[in-house]
Structure 1
Amino acid sequence: MYTTIIEPRVSETDGVGHINNTTIPIWFEAGRNQLFKLFMPDSSFKNWRMIILNMNVDFVDQIYFGQEVKVYTWVQRIGNTSLELYEEIHQENRLCARGTAVYVNHNLETKTSECIPEDIRVELQKHLK
């Protein structure tokens, strides 16, 4: 499991006093940065490999400004060319959002999916849920 701590910003708070729902997918993506580094160690968009195919979010409880949140990211499934993630956001030990995302290992130059390399696959297996 990967863990990312996020400090909510005032600008992410909506008129009813909780973090806006449009912010949650962005925080989930922030929780994937360590995974992105596996596929693109230099973080170069020129060499970008991870293309999102699907994302689902369940909003479970409200999130508020002024209290840090933790984003937990697990690998749920590893395919030949793709992987599925399971993610949760917690605030003060409360589950506030959960979701899934599917990414494919994609070669931008050839515009084709490629097998996930064995060394990356081994690292991903350490984070299976």
Structure 2
Amino acid sequence: MAPPPPAPARFPFWTEEKLRVADTDQNGHVNNGAIGAFCEAGRAEVIQAVLGSLREGPVAMVVARVEIDYLREVHYPGRVRIGTAVTRIGRSSVALDQALFLDGACFATSAAVLVAIDRQSRQPVALTPALRAGFEALSPAGEMAA
């Protein structure tokens, strides 16, 4: 049996996206590709909040791993709420958990690992103390792994 969907209170960071007709497939439900794009939008908002820019500065965050669990079908129209929490901070990486909600019900969860890289060399770099603090602020109390 699958674990119960996470509660919204677990996620300290939120963003919202509007469902579009183009997000649906021939079965009339929101396509898995669109769900991945909603997760990406949530991750981008977190990176923007912590780094201050997606395209400027010496450090970029790149996706090293993503997994998505689809919990139930969803249909157009609506607004998707994307909750994000930082669950682990490493030397140069950050793990995120996300949950997607429509009308208060969770329909998908995602886990991702982001890696900090130097924009010039494209090689992994250690998170600065400021970046580490920014990501720590987005961790649910008492849940972050070392």
State the TM-score, normalizing by the size of structure 1.
0.91
Structure 1, unpaired ranges of 5+: none
**Cα pair 2:100 2:106 within 8 Å, conserved:** yes
Provide the rounded CA distance (Å) in 2 between the counterparts of 1:58 and 1:86.
11
Alignment partner of 1:56 is 2:67:
yes
State the aligned residue count. Answer: 128
Q: Any idea what the Cα deviations from partners look like across 1:47-75, whole Å, max 9, x if unmatched?
A: 56111100000000111111211001110
Structure 2, unpaired ranges of 5+: 1-11, 141-146
Give the partner amino acid of 2:69: D
Indicate the RMSD between aligned Cα atoms, in angstroms.
1.6
**Cα pair 2:59 2:116 within 8 Å, conserved:** no
Between the two proteins, what is the percent identity of the paired residues?
23
- 1:45, distance to aligned residue in structure 2 (A): 6.3
Distance 1:48 1:64, change over 3 A: farther
Provide the rounded CA distance (Å) in 2 between the counterparts of 1:73 and 1:61.
19
Q: Which contiguous aligned blocks of 4+ residues in structure 1 show a shift greater than 3 angstroms?
A: 45-48
Q: Any idea what the Cα deviations from partners look like across 1:71-116, whole Å, max 9, x if unmatched?
A: 0111010111000000000111111000100010011312321111
Greater Cα offset, 87-96 or 109-118 = 109-118
State the TM-score, normalizing by the size of structure 2.
0.81
Alignment partner of 1:93 is 2:112:
no
